[in-house]
């Protein structure tokens, strides 16, 4: 899928060794990723931060490819947070431009590979060209079933919870629900991911050990994997390391095994 002129994959032997260690029956159904470290990756190489963000696009392509190859059903990536508006305007413009470029370049191939593109966040507040491309991608891929690609844009976990609370409050005002009917199940249905299962695995590149306001409700029992590898260097080999780490754990969800 999504061919390019640069070879970012690891050697065939190493790939085979990694695949041999994986239990294909124990793969996570839903993987979430915080795509972090683009700017630091570029700065350590004496490059503009924009080069790091562009290299990060290649890692996203690689992640989508691997999910398609091994059968992971949902990939949710943190692309732009509500807090990212605090960054310099030049960098924000670059990020929005790369989003526009990514959808334009990859949409046909994503559609061909049966990837459904969805977004999480307050999308209407993004620049008009980006909103147009997002809506076009969602409409074109709406019936695809092989992989759901959720792109979190203008997203914040607290904002998501506030938006869900507002929707529920409106239903209560309209008399459609009673306060005593509000429980965790109902609340979850009004989140951006209301029709999806929670992530099984959350991957955080770049050595950071914080959640950064990402999927706060959904990751209550998600397995967490942190690596010092910057996102632009997070290719299939690194992804498989995260999957192997996941498979070595016992998920107890607060109970006993």
**How confident is the prediction for the chain on average, in pLDDT?**
91
- pLDDT one-digit tens code per residue, 80-100: 999 999 999 999 999 999 998
In a domain, 48, yes or no: yes
- Catalytic, out of 5, 13, 36, 213: 36
| Residues spanned by the domain of 216 | 28-156+199-247
Q: Is 84 a catalytic residue?
A: yes
What's the number of CA atoms in the CB half-sphere (13 Å) around residue 30?
A: 15
In a domain, 22, yes or no: no
Q: Is 3's pLDDT higher than 60?
A: no
Q: Is 56's pLDDT higher than 70?
A: yes
Predicted pLDDT of residue 17: 63
In a domain, 216, yes or no: yes
- Catalytic, out of 4, 13, 84, 144: 84
In a domain, 242, yes or no: yes
Share of the chain above pLDDT 90, in %: 85
Predicted pLDDT of residue 255: 74
* The model scores a pTM over 0.75: yes
Coil vs helix vs strand at 230: coil
Contacts of 235 (CB under 8 A, 6+ apart): 8, 9, 10, 59, 62
- pLDDT one-digit tens code per residue, 98-156: 998 899 999 999 999 999 999 999 999 999 999 999 999 999 999 999 999 999 999 99
Q: Is 7 a catalytic residue?
A: no
Residue 43 belongs to a domain with what CATH number?
3.40.1180.10
Total structural domains within the chain: 1
Return the CA Rg of the chain.
Answer: 19
């Amino acid at each position: 899928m999504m061919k390019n002129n640069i070879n970012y994959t690891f050697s065939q032997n190493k790939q085979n060794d990694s695949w041999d260690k994986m239990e294909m029956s124990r793969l996570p159904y839903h993987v979430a990723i915080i795509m972090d470290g683009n700017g630091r990756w570029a700065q350590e190489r004496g490059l503009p931060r924009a080069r790091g963000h562009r290299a990060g696009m290649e890692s996203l392509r690689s992640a989508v490819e691997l999910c398609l190859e091994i059968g992971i059903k949902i990939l949710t990536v943190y692309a732009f947070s509500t807090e990212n508006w605090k960054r310099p305007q030049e960098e924000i413009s670059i990020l929005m431009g790369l989003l526009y470029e990514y959808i334009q370049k990859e949409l046909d191939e994503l559609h061909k590979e049966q990837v459904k593109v969805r977004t999480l966040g307050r999308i209407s507040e993004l620049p008009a060209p980006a909103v147009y491309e997002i809506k076009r991608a969602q409409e074109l891929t709406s019936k695809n079933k092989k992989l759901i690609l959720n792109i979190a844009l203008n997203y914040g976990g607290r904002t998501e919870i506030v938006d869900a609370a507002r929707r529920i409050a409106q239903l209560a005002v309209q008399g459609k629900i009673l306060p005593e009917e509000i429980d965790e199940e109902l609340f979850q249905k009004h989140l951006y991911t209301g029709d999806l299962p929670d992530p099984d695995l959350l991957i955080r590149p770049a050595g950071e050990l914080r959640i950064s306001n990402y999927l706060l409700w959904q990751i209550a029992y998600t397995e967490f994997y942190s690596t010092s590898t910057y996102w632009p260097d997070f290719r299939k080999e690194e992804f498989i390391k995260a999957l192997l780490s996941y498979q070595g754990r016992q998920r107890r969800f607060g109970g006993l095994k």
